[in-house]
């Protein structure tokens, strides 16, 4: 099988294979890795997915990128092991061909389990092969940290350090990160998500930390994106006729989930339109409308906290895939093909007020239980459907977290608390252990050096 090589969006680093791209996270020129070419699914290959279980579809998608770095039998085993949970496609009562895909059945009840579980298994294997221990540094607004802590827990040769904004995550999100031991360390930062991300970025660029072999499990890592293509293939295989285009709605923050959809499209999956609702951090819908990009600093704190992103790190990839170039600071050096972006994508900003109203309406009208991120998605889809033809076209709205991760908000709006899945309930009463730090790079660096001895 042919190798897929990955190049940097900044164009100043040599192309690398998947192993190197995963191990380093960000390219040396501070750009993000993208596949040189997208391997293709022929129509017959797509049609064959209809009868396969999820883990087998994952294998067929990922195998197109892993030639030369992992053998087929091992990859198939990793996929079986990682994807041992349901991926429900819920029919919305009374609406023709509209479905909610619930990506919340993994161990930490958000869609981030899909990528984290595969990435942990691949990285664990690469680290074993080259014998060099690795430190994964991750800033989180809540769900990445828990998914990464769960997925990497107990993986030999990999140490994980998670930074989260102390007062911006829910109790459940915090419990999921702070009740693990062993190779997982958690740090509560007295600041915002952006502060956590800035600390992490400085650490990556710091020569004094080179001995730690730092890598990232944030969605700057291509290893987070490829597994996120799989569920788009899966949904289409169950809900669309062979060759029939489908509408996907992806509530977005850092645009990693969306990149999975864009990749699937480039690989040959027929897509009618990608609907990209965001919360009050509306830099992307403005950019899509005008071509002018202004990041939001600091990011706005909205109900859908995992989407509080004022400068989506994957935007540089999206711009690159539409023939433009954006650097790591968000400066556009070559404009993308805006008309093509507008043809493929629809984006809208959803207020907290509309998010709450949607949780109420979706329940009243359809008995559809949504948490804030899914509600942003649903509102965006309704908004799209008011302006565009959707009749008869299969549509899938992604619900990215389990309602029980946000019990306060649901109870406020609906008057009852969602049922708690066993994986979350098991955390109640466990002792939490974490460190606390101010937004102070020198203190953070000392902490890392002490926490991760040579």
Ligand X SMILES: *Cc1c(COP(=O)(O)O)cnc(C)c1O
Q: Tell me which residue of 164, 194, 441 sits closest to 297, measured CA to CA.
A: 194
Number of amino acids touching ligand X (CB under 6 A): 17
Give me the count of residues in the chain: 454
From the list 117, 192, 201, 373, which residue makes contact with ligand X (rule: CB under 6 A)?
373
From the list 124, 191, 256, 324, which residue makes contact with ligand X (rule: CB under 6 A)?
256
Query: Going residue by residue from 137 to 166, which x/- string records binding to ligand X, judged by CB under 6 A?
Result: ------x-----------------------
Alpha-carbon distances of 345 from 116, 258, 326, 340, 451, rounded to whole Å? 26, 10, 18, 8, 44
Query: Going residue by residue from 11 to 50, which x/- string records binding to ligand X, judged by CB under 6 A?
Result: ----------------------------------------
Nearer to ligand X, 176 or 215 (CB): 176
Q: Which residue has the tokens 């890795």?
A: 33
Nearer to ligand X, 30 or 373 (CB): 373
Q: Tell me which residue of 141, 118, 11 sits closest to 65, measured CA to CA.
A: 118
Nearer to ligand X, 183 or 219 (CB): 219
Query: Going residue by residue from 375 to 404, which x/- string records binding to ligand X, judged by CB under 6 A?
Result: -------------------------xx---
Determine whether 266 is exposed, middle or buried from the number of CB atoms within 10 Å of its CB (0-12, 13-18, 19+): middle
- Which tokens belong to 13? 């680093």
Q: Does 254 bind ligand X (CB under 6 A)?
A: yes
Please enumerate in sequence order all residues whose Cβ is within 8 A of that of 330, keeping only pairs 6 or more positions apart, or say none: 293, 295, 311, 315
Q: Does 307 bind ligand X (CB under 6 A)?
A: yes
Q: Does 253 bind ligand X (CB under 6 A)?
A: yes
Q: Does 407 bind ligand X (CB under 6 A)?
A: no
Q: Does 193 bind ligand X (CB under 6 A)?
A: no
Q: Does 117 bind ligand X (CB under 6 A)?
A: no
From the list 8, 9, 10, 110, which residue makes contact with ligand X (rule: CB under 6 A)?
110
51 CB neighbour count, 10 Å cutoff: 8
Q: What single DSSP character describes residue 369?
A: -
Nearest distance in Å: CB 356, ligand X: 16
Helices (H), 93-160: 112-130, 143-152
Whether residue 404 contacts residue 424, with contact meaning beta carbons closer than 8 Å, is answered with yes
Q: Which helix (H) or strand (E) holds 98?
A: strand 98-102
Nearest distance in Å: CB 253, ligand X: 4
Q: Does 348 bind ligand X (CB under 6 A)?
A: no
Nearest distance in Å: CB 18, ligand X: 20
Spatial strand order of the sheet with 271-278 comes to 89-91, 98-102, 395-399, 246-249, 271-278, 345-349
Q: Does 344 bind ligand X (CB under 6 A)?
A: no
Q: Write phi, then psi, for 275 (nearest 5 degrees).
A: -95, 125
Nearer to ligand X, 230 or 307 (CB): 307
Q: Does 174 bind ligand X (CB under 6 A)?
A: no
Nearest distance in Å: CB 85, ligand X: 16
Nearer to ligand X, 254 or 383 (CB): 254
Q: Does 255 bind ligand X (CB under 6 A)?
A: yes
Q: Does 219 bind ligand X (CB under 6 A)?
A: yes
Q: Tell me which residue of 231, 195, 203, 67 sits closest to 135, measured CA to CA.
A: 203
Strand partners, 186: 162
Q: Does 303 bind ligand X (CB under 6 A)?
A: no
From the list 9, 150, 229, 252, which residue makes contact with ligand X (rule: CB under 6 A)?
252
Cα separation, 28 vs 411, whole angstroms:
46
Q: Which helix (H) or strand (E) holds 386?
A: helix 372-387
Nearer to ligand X, 30 or 311 (CB): 311
29 CB neighbour count, 10 Å cutoff: 14
Q: Does 306 bind ligand X (CB under 6 A)?
A: yes
Contact positions vs ligand X (CB under 6 A): 110, 112, 143, 219, 251-258, 306-307, 373, 400-401
């Amino acid at each position: 099988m042919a190798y897929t090589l990955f190049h940097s969006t900044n164009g100043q680093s040599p192309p690398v294979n998947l192993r190197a791209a995963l191990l380093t996270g960000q390219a040396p020129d501070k750009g993000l890795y993208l596949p040189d070419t997208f391997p293709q699914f022929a129509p017959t290959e797509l049609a064959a997915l209809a009868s396969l279980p999820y883990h087998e579809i994952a294998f067929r998608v990922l195998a197109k990128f892993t030639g030369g770095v992992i053998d087929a039998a091992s990859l198939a085993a990793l996929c079986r092991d990682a994807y041992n949970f349901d991926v429900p496609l819920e029919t919305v009562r009374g609406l023709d061909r509209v479905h909610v895909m619930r990506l919340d059945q993994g161990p930490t009840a958000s869609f981030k389990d899909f990528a984290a579980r595969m990435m942990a298994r691949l990285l664990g294997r690469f680290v074993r092969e080259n014998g060099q221990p690795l430190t994964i540094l991750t800033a989180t607004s809540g769900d990445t940290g828990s998914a990464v802590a769960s997925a990497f827990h107990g993986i030999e040769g990999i140490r994980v350090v998670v930074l989260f904004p102390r007062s911006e995550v829910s109790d459940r999100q915090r419990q999921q990160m702070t009740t693990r031991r062993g190779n997982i360390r958690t740090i509560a930062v007295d600041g915002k998500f952006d502060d956590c991300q800035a600390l992490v970025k400085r650490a990556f660029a710091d020569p004094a930390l080179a001995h730690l072999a730092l890598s990232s499990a944030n969605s700057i890592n291509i290893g987070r994106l490829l597994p996120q293509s799989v569920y788009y293939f899966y949904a289409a295989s169950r809900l669309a006729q062979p060759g029939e285009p489908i509408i996907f709605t992806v509530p977005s923050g850092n645009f990693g989930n969306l990149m999975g959809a864009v990749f699937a499209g480039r690989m040959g999956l027929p897509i009618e339109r990608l609907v990209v609702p965001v919360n009050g951090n509306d830099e992307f819908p403005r950019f899509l409308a005008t071509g002018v990009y202004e990041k939001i600093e600091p990011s706005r704190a909205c109900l859908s906290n995992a989407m509080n992103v004022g400068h989506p790190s994957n935007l540089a990839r999206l711009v690159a895939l539409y023939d433009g170039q954006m650097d790591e600071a968000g400066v556009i050096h070559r404009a993308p093909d805006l008309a093509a972006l507008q043809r493929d994508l629809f984006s809208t900003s959803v207020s907290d007020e509309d998010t709450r109203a949607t949780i109420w309406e979706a329940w009243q009208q359809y008995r559809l239980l949504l948490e804030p991120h899914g509600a942003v998605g649903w509102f965006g889809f309704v908004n799209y459907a008011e302006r565009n033809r959707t009749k008869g076209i299969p549509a899938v709205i992604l619900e990215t977290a389990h309602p029980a991760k946000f019990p306060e908000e649901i109870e406020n709006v609906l008057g009852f608390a969602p049922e708690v899945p066993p994986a979350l309930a098991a955390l109640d009463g466990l002792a939490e252990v974490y460190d606390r730090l101010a937004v102070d790079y020198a203190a953070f660096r000392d902490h890392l050096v002490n926490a991760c001895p040579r």
